[in-house]
Chain A
Amino acid sequence: MTLGYFWSILFLSLHAMVPITLTAAGEVVGERAGLFNIGLEGILLLSAFTGALGAEAGGWPLGLLVGIGTGAVVGLFFGLVNAYWKGNQLITGVGINLFALGFVAFGLQALGTPGFHDVPRDVRLPAIQTPVGGLSPIVLLALVVPFAIHWFLNRTRAGLWVRAVGENPEAADVAGVPVELVRLLATTFGAALAGLAGAYMAISWMGSVTKEMAAGRGFIALATVVFSGLRPILTLAGGFIFGFFDSLATWIANIPGVKEAVPWQFVSTIPYIATLLVVTGVIGRVRFPKALGVPYRRE
């Protein structure tokens, strides 16, 4: 392998890192507040689709906004059902995933492009040109967001509230923190970041929408949250590990000789297996918020 390959794999890894890291960092906020959103996969897919539509209607800025907005709306729904109406978080999340699968498949069909929809080049997010290739600005954003979230959770009053409602909602309630509202906002924020990640995939990274484009990244993000021990900065590491193996797999699958001998579907399992091995292997004692997944009811 020449040094050129190394740099290009590293570069591709950064791009593949973005959806995992953004989604996981957002989910860290939601989980710190006590809500466990298993519907991230669905949010990625939905917002990729709506983001693409938005971009085609009004350019990439609208595309990004629509993607974020889609995530936020789903997050708001998830938060209302679970923070306010004390629903079952697992079932709500699964519902979101199933809805997204059906809706996007249907939407692609309705556009007349079943299975695959190309986002025109002129409405995609412009890349920053570098010697190695085009760099999406969202990559830079994804490198900053986990640090911002870390600062928010540990240094601000609102961050204290988020952690309090996830750890001991009774104590937060007694302290006058509006438990349901904080949970709603936290999970909405997390879902909005997943929405940004979805839009990024469609209008920046891949430049297309397919009905299987989320490809389990929502779940890998959930695994990354566990791996990080709910520390946002570590979602960068989790995201990068996946991104690296994802890029490596793409590279391996295209090596002449390998391409003919091994089905690419087989090679593309590498990032999932590698990520899960690393992520589960590294996990030490992870301390989850005590009230994670538990609806808060005043006695």
Chain B
Amino acid sequence: MPEPLLKAEGIVKVYPDGTVALRGVDFDIRPGEIQGLLGENGAGKTTLTKIISGLLPPTLGRILLGGEPVRLRSPKEALARGIGMVHQHFALVDDFTVLENIALGTGRPADRALRASVAELMERTGLRVPLDAPVENLAVGERQRVEILKVLSRAVRILILDEPTSVLTPVETDELFGFLRRLKGEGVGIVFITHKLREVLEITDRVTVLRRGEVVGEVLTRETSAEELARMMVGAELRPRGRRPVELLTDIPRERREAVRTGVEPVLVVEDLRVPAEGGGEAVKGISFELYPGEILGIAGVEGNGQTELVEAICGLRGGRGSARLRGREILGLPPLELYRLGLAHIPEDRWKYGLILSFTVAENSILGRQRSPRFLGPLTVLRWGEVFAHARELIARFSIQAPGLEAPAKSLSGGNQQKLIVGRELSKEPDVVIAAQPTRGLDIGAAEYIRDLLLGLRDEGKAILLVSADLDEVLELSDRVAFMYEGTFTAVTTPAELDRERAGLYMGGMRG
């Protein structure tokens, strides 16, 4: 076995607020190996990789690079020693062009020489992006490519990828994997953080599983199975798959639901909806669909094909032309508050931007958008805090939100619990239509399953759900009907039963059904 490129020994990390993120972790990275780092949100994966990449100092423990103890005081030092990391939340300057971002990352001027070498790198890796476009105009998947290019344009020997596939389509993921295998062949040590077991089994050579800041298992990929990994990752707390939250459980068989639907009016009718794109042109080019009570309409597709704009136009966050009628009433251009009164709930794609005010408390966030409801607003616009707290407690109990307290800031919650808080709040509005955009992105398996079960439960209660997700498996698993979105239009609207992965991939790639 080759010498490890990097060894981390006894790493302990205690954050200033007293949170213990890592409790003595041993970890090594070997050349020419892809190592999976698996664990739920809050398990310490990101903290560990931030320490290795110089962004955070460890509280205790040491890091050996090529056998020598080193102190990595900054990402710059780590990069200089050949350790590069692609973060889950991209470290890109939105205002800069792709080339300027790469220049920033490499410490080189954004000149012709850099342009040539990046072009060569894009050629070699197959990761293509327009070099002169400002990053803010790029889709999420493209931004990730910029991140990877940025790191690769340094001569890295260790490449850490924090959930790189969460924003990619199957085709893009395959491309990335092909590229990672080539990179592995060049002797680079790769750390691959993910929640997706299938990907771990497909791409990694070795898997390290973290739980609550400790390594709970280290196995060779060829000697393990998805079941074993899932067990290690979530421990004994894993809910049996398919069990739904009791209060939402209404087990109406699918046939009966479909019988009910015949003769039922659609609750949301969208006709020839057009939404302008930010850089000119149209992001949504005339989309029409109907959404019925008691169904989940899934919208699948490569990110950046207009899904975000479609959702934001329907939810009153963006202007659009055409028509969207909620129970017969035109809603295009109505403000979000009015939409909520009409029975539309929105689980936003960007939960930090539209979903929560991170520095507000759990209780305050639990009534965002409902602050004017008579239940919470007393005379002289004084909030009834007793009611607010009671409401927050109800949400916490009903949606099993793990929160340090009602007055803890929302940012102290893990991603999964933040999402549960948003979903809980939106559902407490008792909507008829739920627009769920990327509802499980970045969540650990337990939380993602919980949200999925919740959506199924809502459907069974007769709500109409529009589900937009980049996770094809998720869309196929949950939806009654699936639409594929490509460059602002639907290439196909069908049912999951009539689909196989290959056909789905074709629709996502722009072939019409």
Residues on A facing B (Cβ under 8 Å): 156-157, 160-161, 163-164, 167-168, 170-177, 287, 289-290, 298-299
**Which of A156, A168, A290, A299 neighbours the largest number of chain B CB atoms within 10 Å of its CB?**
A168
Residues of B within 8 A of A287 (CB): 95
Asked if B249 is at the interface (CB within 8 A of a chain A CB), the reply is no
8 interchain pairs, CB-CB under 8 A: A157-B108, A174-B85, A174-B87, A175-B104, A175-B107, A176-B74, A176-B107, A177-B104
- Which residues of B lie under 8 Å from residue A168 when comparing CB positions? 91-94
CA distance A196 to B150 in the complex (A): 40
Q: Quick check: is B127 within 8 A (CB to CB) of the other chain? A: no
In angstroms, Cα B95 to Cα A289, docked, is 8
Could you tell me the dominant secondary structure of chain B's interface residues?
A: loop
Q: Are the CB atoms of B104 and A164 closer together than 8 Å?
A: yes
Say whether B104 contacts A172, CB under 8 Å: yes
Task: Give the complex CA separation of A175 and B100 in angstroms.
Answer: 12
Chain B residues with Cβ under 8 A from A290's Cβ?
94-95
For A175, give its contact among B50, B91, B95 (CB under 8 Å): B91
In the bound complex, do residue A163 and residue B96 qualify as a contact, i.e. CB atoms below 8 Å apart?
yes
> Known contacts A175-B104, A176-B107; is A163 also within 8 Å of B93 by CB?
yes
With a cutoff of 8 Å between Cβ atoms, the chain A residues found around residue B105 in the complex are 174-175
Which residues of B in the span 84-120 have a Cβ within 8 Å of any Cβ on A? 85, 87, 90-96, 100-101, 103-105, 107-110
Cα distance A247–B93 in the bound complex, in angstroms: 42
The answer, yes or no, to whether B56 is at the interface (CB within 8 Å) is yes
Q: Which of A157, A171, A174 contacts B109 (CB 8 A)?
A: A157
Residues of B with C-beta under 8 A to A175: 75-76, 91, 104-105, 107, 150
Question: Contact at A299–B94, with CB atoms within 8 Å?
Answer: no
Task: Decide if B79 is an interface residue (CB 8 Å cutoff).
Answer: yes
- Any chain A CB within 8 A of the CB of B55? yes
Give the complex CA separation of A170 and B107 in angstroms. 15
CB distance from B99 to the nearest CB of A (A): 10
Q: State A157–B109 Cα separation when bound (angstroms).
A: 5
Give the chain B neighbours of A170 by CB distance below 8 A. 91
Which chain B residue shows the least CB distance to A170? B91
CA distance A266 to B90 in the complex (A): 54
In the complex, what distance in Å separates the CA atom of A298 from the CA atom of B96?
A: 22
Asked if A174 and B107 make an inter-chain contact with CB atoms under 8 angstroms apart, the answer reads no
Known: A176-B74, A298-B56. A167 touches B107 (CB 8 A): no
Whether the Cβ atoms of A167 and B94 lie closer than 8 Å is: yes
For the complex, what is the distance from the CA of A171 to the CA of B143, rounded to whole Å? 13
Most interface-central of A164, A172, A174, A298 (chain B CB within 10 A): A174
- Taking a contact as CB atoms under 8 Å apart, the answer to whether A176 and B100 are in contact is no
Q: Which residues of the other chain, B, contact A164 by a CB distance below 8 angstroms?
A: 93, 96, 104
* Given A175-B75, A175-B76, A160 and B110 contact (CB-CB distance below 8 Å): yes
Contact A156 B93 (CB under 8 A): no
- Tell me whether A173 and B75 are in contact (CB under 8 A): yes
The docked-state distance in angstroms from the alpha carbon of A68 to that of B93 is: 32
Residues of the B chain whose Cβ atoms lie less than 8 Å from the Cβ of A176: 74-77, 79-80, 107
- Tell me the complex Cα distance, A289–B136, Å: 13
Collect the chain B residues with CB atoms within 8 Å of residue A299's CB.
50, 55-56
**Of residues A161, A163, A170, A175, which shows the largest number of chain B Cβ atoms within 10 Å of its Cβ?**
A175
